[in-house]
Amino acid sequence: MSKHDESRFPLRLDVLTRFKVERWYEQDGCQSRNNFILRAINFYTDYLEGLENTVLPPAIQSAIDGRIGTFEDRMAKLLYKLAVEMDMGISTLIDCVNLSEDYLKKRRVESIKNVKATNGKLTFEEKAAEGDT
């Protein structure tokens, strides 16, 4: 900014605010207190403008939020159904087969390893084919 573009603006600071300016202006890399105060004012006014002017208009943001909420509700219902089906299958298996704790621990370790290795994309058919070899 050239001297031609500048105008004087009287500014009164309370003792605490002046202390803050004195303490921080050099640490912020400013050449002067005036430069520090200009940067602070610009930072704060940019923040206020950001509150007024959001990136998306409120109607669009509301529509997106609504769609995400609907998607979240749908996923929660599907996960609940999946958990119920898994519980039924595991309970049925436990009723039919007597498995030791050691076997279950070993199976859990192997299952965790398989899911990590396949990023959760292992299918039942692939697992069955693996057992045939």
**Model pTM score:** 0.41
Q: Is the pLDDT reported for residue 1 higher than 60?
A: no
Give the mean model confidence (pLDDT) for residues 15-42.
Answer: 91
The pLDDT mean for the chain works out to 84
* pLDDT on residue 53: 66
Q: Is the pLDDT reported for residue 50 higher than 70?
A: no
**Residue pLDDT, tens place only, 65-107:** 899 999 999 999 999 999 999 899 888 888 888 888 898 899 8
Domain boundaries, the chain: 12-52, 58-97, 99-133
Q: Is the pLDDT reported for residue 14 higher than 60?
A: yes
Spell out the SS3 assignment of the chain.
Answer: CCHHHCCCCCCCCCHHHHHHHHHHCCCCCCCCHHHHHHHHHHHHHHHHHHHHCCCCCHHHHHHHHHHHHHHHHHHHHHHHHHHHHHHHHHHHHHHHCCCCHHHHHHHHHHHHHHHHHHCCCCCHHHHHHHHHC
